[in-house]
Amino acid sequence: MHTPIRSVTPASANVEVIGWIHELRDLGGLTFLLLRDRTGILQVTVNRKKAPAGVLAALAIISRESVVRVRGPVKAIDKAPGGREVTPEVLELVSPCATPLPLDVVEKVPAELDTRLDARFLDVRRPRVTAVFLIRSMVLQAVSEFLWERDFVQITTPKLVAAATEGGTELFPVAYFDKEAFLNQSPQLYKQMMMAAGFEKVFEIGPIFRAEEHNTTKHLNEATSIDVEVSFADQEDVMRLLEELVAAVYRKVGETCAEPLSWLKKELEVPATPFPRIPYTDAIEIAARRTGEPLKFGDDFGAAAEKALGEEMGTHYFIVDWPTAIKPYYAMPYSDRPEFCRAFDLMHPRMELSSGAQRVHQYDLLAAQIRSKGLKPESFEFYLNPFRFGMPPHAGWGLGAERLVMTMLDLQNIREAVLFPRDRHRLVP
């Protein structure tokens, strides 16, 4: 087994490391190789007058981004990355790299995002890009651990479905034998069905699909959603869960990802909880005042309004008590003011991160709300049927994983937070 570069220290004696040639500098009698793996960068120094013949032979044929194996003693040197270097007794070319490179992994020559995505396998070799995905991995681990510790059951729901979650205007149709099928917009209907099954607390981390023709820096057509549903709970219960989860994820990333954060030159500040709550009617007034736009009751928030609200609030916050007419049919209206519902959105100053609500659990009310949206209850029979057989009160939310990572790391484009993004123009690689 080779040694990860992170583990190499001057006390390591002889080590064997394998990685990519990040940089290669020939200074006459000395040649310096910077060897990279996902854990860091190590300096390898070849003294051409003293090096074994096999080392010199390999040195003559290697190029940047080739994979090499190095074995030799380690010593301390202040100016080297990590304060150590290896003098190779063995230098072996494992896998050569073609030239020229599609993009500069050392980042001395910037590349457009489309160029980076076309050669994503090479782009992700760059330490700053590697850092994003190491942190993303920890974000998803932290989410799972947070929910497991609170006795949640992890579920997996279908991604090929027969009915829309929120209407049929944003669906990808799929040829499914002799039936009509779609890629799922959300696990919403299925996680609610698990409340009828008595699971009480469930979560899923999985893909969702939206056939929206957006071409923005914050929309994807395939995204990763973190979904939660809780029985015997209202919207306040799951809002508290959500804000605690976000703070816990920031804390976990800060504690465990010091090196990737340093590659990004990023210091994380854990958001203070509880997050402020602002009623929809107040949010509309603030956005109208700050933007000068004639926003009125029943309008949703566009990019300018979201930006204005973010500048006003300056931190994570919730918009609560939304108009029933603009939220999905499964959002529970207030009994004393049915024009409003128990729905909420979690906002970062830059954008929406999550939406959720207490759900309608009464069969008759749910069927009526489906009709009010111009949909047919018959199309949702598989979903509605459990509501006849003792559906408990419940609430939940969906949180966008890419948006969480994007805002946490101050990324400029959501495509930077997903390995192989899918948007209206990109279907490969």
Judge whether 245 and 230 are in contact, CB under 8 Å. Answer: no
Q: What is the mean pLDDT of residues 5-26?
A: 91
Q: What is the mean pLDDT of residues 107-112?
A: 87
Query: Which segments of 324-427 are extended strands (E)?
Result: 340-348, 351-358, 394-400
pLDDT at residue number 213: 85
| Top CATH class, 122-276+315-417 | alpha beta
> Could you tell me which of 344, 342, 348, 271 has the C-alpha nearest to residue 306?
348
Q: Is 168's pLDDT higher than 60?
A: no
Q: Tens digit of pLDDT for each residue in 110-145?
A: 899 999 999 999 999 999 999 999 999 999 999 999
The domain limits of the chain are 5-95, 122-276+315-417
DSSP one-letter string for 208-247: EE------SSS--SEEEEEEEEEET--HHHHHHHHHHHHH
Confidence band for 215, pLDDT divided at 50, 70 and 90: confident
The Cβ-side half-sphere exposure at 306, using a 13 Å CA radius, reads: 15
Centroid of chain to Cα 50: 49
Supply the angle between the helices 235-256 and 127-149 in degrees, to the nearest 10: 140
Task: Name the least confident of 167-181, 212-226, 405-419.
Answer: 167-181
In CATH terms, the superfamily for domain 5-95 is Nucleic acid-binding proteins (2.40.50.140)
Task: Name the least confident of 87-91, 168-172, 391-395.
Answer: 168-172
Q: Tens digit of pLDDT for each residue in 51-91?
A: 999 999 999 999 999 999 999 999 999 989 889 999 999 99
**What 3-state DSSP class applies to 148?**
helix
Q: How many CB atoms lie within 10 A of CB 41?
A: 18
Confidence band for 169, pLDDT divided at 50, 70 and 90: low
Judge whether 422 and 221 are in contact, CB under 8 Å. Answer: yes
The letter for the amino acid at 284 is I
C-alpha–C-alpha distance, residues 219 and 146, integer Å: 27
Q: Tens digit of pLDDT for each residue in 236-274?
A: 999 999 999 999 999 999 999 999 999 999 999 999 999
The Cβ-side half-sphere exposure at 427, using a 13 Å CA radius, reads: 1
pLDDT at residue number 167: 59
User: What is the pTM (predicted TM-score) of this model?
Assistant: 0.94
